[in-house]
Chain A
Amino acid sequence: MNAPYFKFGYFGDEISLIVAFAIGIGFGFFLERAGFGSGRKLAAQFYLYDMTVFKVMFTAIVTAMVGLFWLSVFGIVDLSLVYVSPTYLVPQVVGGLILGVGFVVGGYCPGTSCVGVATGKYDAMIYLLGIIAGIFVFGEMFPLLEGFYKSTAMDIVTLPELFGMSYGLLVFLVVVMALGGFAGAEWVEKKFRKGAAQ
């Protein structure tokens, strides 16, 4: 067991920034390949005629989740050293709702707006300025929001722990759910695409 490599001191902070840059290139490349540089394609998810966002996101989640699971089973990755962000349930749900509205109103999320900017979308550039303004507003309001921001703290808690299931079983259930979701997405797309054509 010697991964995650950074946590075992295989390289230092300076090299980690180069790794960050390289991983970012891969991230941006596949986001663009998926069509996520286009706000119109991203927003289409919410009008059901193009379910690309759902398909790409859940394929990525399943790929990384299953990969990490097997790497931990074979003793290659020490899971306890992979950072899981702690749960603050209510602020995360409220934040998610606001973010979802922002997605439909603006057409991007922070990562995809970078790809939009890189491929010449003027609306993505304005959107990015909006993100910066939104973070500034949040920061300025932080003394007022701090109590809510830190409420319903549950520390680091994962779905297997929450449901009292084994890690492997939960991974399996998420894969089954995703496959069902993909079949549903193909059906929905066909239905709404047909409707739009008539």
Chain B
Amino acid sequence: MTTLAKTVSPEDVAAQSVAKADRKAQPYWNPYLAGVGLGLVLLAAFVIMGRGLGASGAFTSLVSVGVNAVAPEHAQSNTFFSEYLGDATHHPLKDWLVFEVIGVIVGGFISGSLAHRIKGTVEKGPRISTRGRMVFALLGGILMGFGAKLARGCTSGQALTGGALLGVGSWAFMLAVFAGGYAVAYFFRRQWT
């Protein structure tokens, strides 16, 4: 035991602590720099594909396929689900937005890994329990899903993409998102601050 302890030199300890510090989460990028990166990705989508980015559409395809698997007649009789299922010429999950969103998950993981930010946590302020936060996460998600469908897109499809293309509905939507958020933020401050 004593010989083992002796082999740990101060240099080793220093090297270990450096390695540990190295594994600490790196700071986020300057927001303007990250914004330019995001804007160039959006521009690439316009130039290569003639369309922008999106997210909620991929989940709608997923939900439509799920409903169709459980109750096919019900899904086909519903104009909303049946439009997403399309005619049987190709599988509804073989869709541009579905592949894009799988990419988003991979890209997020790559960036998070390189910056040592992958960690099993619950994002919340200090004044709310984990259980309470989870309830709000579920409720917020339900509102988000419903609102995104009513608006024909979410932050990616309407605000970012439609915003850059100067769509009237997209700009009205974007202002409404900020208005809705600021209108209720005070009542949910215990969750975050």
| B139 lies within 8 A of A87 (CB) | no
A-B contact count (CB 8 A): 534
Q: How far is the CA of A22 from the CA of B141 in the complex (A)?
A: 26
CB-CB contacts of A112-135 with B at 8 A, as 1s and 0s?
111111111111101111111111
- Is A183 interfacial (CB-CB < 8 Å)? no
With contact pairs A135-B146, A139-B80 given, residues A27 and B41 touching in the complex (Cβ less than 8 Å): yes
- Is B15 interfacial (CB-CB < 8 Å)? no
Which A residues touch B166, using CB under 8 A? 65, 158-160, 167, 170-171, 174
| B80 lies within 8 A of A142 (CB) | yes
Q: How far is the CA of A65 from the CA of B48 in the complex (A)?
A: 15
The one of B78, B109, B144 that contacts A102, using a Cβ cutoff of 8 Å: B144
| A17 lies within 8 A of B96 (CB) | yes
- Is B69 interfacial (CB-CB < 8 Å)? no
The one of A6, A33, A44, A101 that contacts B48, using a Cβ cutoff of 8 Å: A6
Q: How many residues of B contact A (CB 8 A)?
A: 123
| A83 lies within 8 A of B145 (CB) | no
Closest-CB distance, A14 to chain B (whole angstroms): 9
Q: How far is the CA of A77 from the CA of B46 in the complex (A)?
A: 9
Q: How far is the CA of A66 from the CA of B18 in the complex (A)?
A: 43
| B46 lies within 8 A of A82 (CB) | yes
With contact pairs A28-B107, A33-B28 given, residues A102 and B141 touching in the complex (Cβ less than 8 Å): yes
| A106 lies within 8 A of B35 (CB) | no
Which A residues touch B34, using CB under 8 A? 30, 33-35, 56, 59
| B140 lies within 8 A of A33 (CB) | no
| B176 lies within 8 A of A105 (CB) | no
With contact pairs A32-B108, A130-B141 given, residues A4 and B94 touching in the complex (Cβ less than 8 Å): no
Q: How far is the CA of A149 from the CA of B44 in the complex (A)?
A: 31
With contact pairs A82-B165, A92-B169 given, residues A47 and B185 touching in the complex (Cβ less than 8 Å): yes
Which A residues touch B107, using CB under 8 A? 24-32, 115
Q: Which of A129-147 contact B (CB under 8 A)?
A: 129-140, 142-143, 145-146
| A111 lies within 8 A of B185 (CB) | no
- Is A184 interfacial (CB-CB < 8 Å)? no
- Is A197 interfacial (CB-CB < 8 Å)? no
Q: How far is the CA of A39 from the CA of B170 in the complex (A)?
A: 23
| B145 lies within 8 A of A96 (CB) | no
CB-CB contacts of B132-172 with A at 8 A, as 1s and 0s?
01101111111111111111111111111111111111111
**Which chain B residue lies CB-closest to A97?**
B180
Q: How far is the CA of A18 from the CA of B48 in the complex (A)?
A: 12
Which B residues touch A3, using CB under 8 A? 47-48, 50
The one of A4, A134, A170 that contacts B47, using a Cβ cutoff of 8 Å: A4
| B81 lies within 8 A of A107 (CB) | no
| B63 lies within 8 A of A139 (CB) | yes
CB-CB contacts of A4-21 with B at 8 A, as 1s and 0s?
111100000100111111
Known: A57-B160, A96-B147. 12 other contacts (CB 8 A): A31-B104, A31-B108, A47-B189, A47-B192, A63-B43, A76-B47, A81-B50, A92-B151, A99-B147, A99-B155, A104-B140, A132-B59
Tell me the A residues contacting B by CB distance below 8 Å.
Answer: 3-7, 13, 16-35, 37-41, 43-47, 52, 55-65, 67-68, 71, 76-77, 81-89, 91-124, 126-140, 142-143, 145-146, 149, 154, 156-162, 167, 170-171, 174, 182
12 examples of A-B residue contacts, CB within 8 angstroms: A3-B47, A5-B47, A27-B100, A30-B41, A56-B38, A83-B52, A95-B147, A101-B180, A103-B144, A105-B140, A115-B112, A136-B145
